[in-house]
Amino acid sequence: MTQTTRRQFIGKMVTTMGAVALSSKAIGAPQFRYKLGHSTPAEHPFHKRLVEAASAILEQTGGRLNIQVFPASQLGGDNDLLSQVRSGAVEFFPAPGLILASVLPLTAIDGMGFAFANYDKVWEAMDGDLGAYVRSQIVEKTPLVAMDKMWDLGYRQITNSVRPINTADDLVGLKLRVPGAPALVSLFQGLGVAPVSMQFGEIYTALQTKVVDGQENPLAQIDTGKFYEVQKYISLTNHVWDGFWIVANGAAWKRLPKDIQEIVNKVFNEKALLQRADLVTLNQTLADQLKTKGLSINTADTTSFREKLKKVGFYANWRKQIGDKAWNLLEQHVGVLG
């Protein structure tokens, strides 16, 4: 390298370093470094929107709040992460209502079996009076704060390697993996299933080694989890709609200045709407894609499922646990359940 070239090179390096230093000085070192952990695979649009949210929050707070996002159960499964966000070991957690119900039964209200016929009903209730009531109870009865809008996990479907599920009787005797969510466990017990709870990251091996016959999850999770490699049948049951509350540890939330709180809530709400649209688009093609990957697909007759749940007292039991106020709000949107 000639002397002139060397000077040019050094000059460029100084200029570049100066620009980086100026940029860093302009943004400033993060005042708050928070963690967000979740169980969904990194390939899922849910994770991608969370990363976008963290980036937007960093930018809009002038670099004061840096949220690091850990996907795919890197910090633990959903039940572990719920414990961590309650204790403050992580500051944010996208908590499925069904998982949060282990500490606050009321939050299982969005996951009642066969409650929501379509997304219009879901968002009418959860963006409206029912969602507002659930958020108020989360703040009042747990050490958590929930953002205004839920994110979409999707309608849950059943896969297994034994037989297609057309009616409730086809489920009797099957061993299915379900999350450690009280409402889902009791739903499948009522349908004659032997539910086995385990973390999402353990499902593939359990299916492969026949520890369980099948599992239930939204289509996107079935695809990203590659369960089509170790299952034969997928039955479209839409037995439960499932969604996430973005919750913050209460003490960590209070440490944030008011303006940062407002930015965080705003950004998570904006990204929630985009993530909902992502999942609608994805689900339009996923069933056909899973069929090409080897799964036999059928649509179940869910009338028998709901009748059986009524007969075994599933709805009556959960109404007692959830309380009349939330239950009445739900039924104003979806009709009488049981």
**Number of structural domains in the chain:** 1
Q: How many CA atoms lie within 13 A of 332 on its CB side?
A: 12
CA distance 269 to 207: 36
3-state secondary structure 107-125: HHHHHCCCCCCCHHHHHHH
115, part of any domain: yes
Q: Considering the domain boundaries, does residue 13 fall inside one?
A: no
Strands in 127-170 per DSSP E: 144-146, 151-160
In a domain, 17, yes or no: no
Q: Is residue 15 part of a domain?
A: no
The answer as to whether 179 is a domain residue is yes
End-to-end Cα, the chain, rounded Å: 82
The pLDDT assigned to 338 comes to 81
Q: Are 326 and 109 in contact (CB under 8 A)?
A: yes
The residue range of the domain holding 185 is: 27-334
> What CATH number corresponds to the domain at position 300?
3.40.190.170
Please give the C-alpha separations between residue 229 and each of 67, 98, 126, 159, 226, in angstroms, as whole numbers.
Answer: 34, 27, 35, 11, 6
Report pTM: 0.89
Residue 117 falls within a domain, yes or no?
yes
User: Residue 78 domain-assigned?
Assistant: yes
User: In a structure prediction context, what are the per-residue pLDDT tens digits for the chain, which is 338 residues long?
Assistant: 444 333 343 333 333 333 233 333 345 689 999 999 999 999 999 999 999 999 999 999 999 999 999 999 999 999 999 999 999 999 999 999 999 999 999 999 999 999 999 999 999 999 999 999 999 999 999 999 999 999 999 999 999 999 999 999 999 999 999 999 999 999 999 999 999 999 999 999 999 999 999 999 999 999 999 999 999 999 999 999 999 999 999 999 999 999 999 999 999 999 999 999 999 999 999 999 999 999 999 999 999 999 999 999 999 999 999 999 999 999 999 999 98
Rg (CA), the chain: 23
Residue 98: helix, strand or coil by DSSP? helix
- pLDDT value at position 20? 30
Does residue 34 lie within any of the structural domains?
A: yes
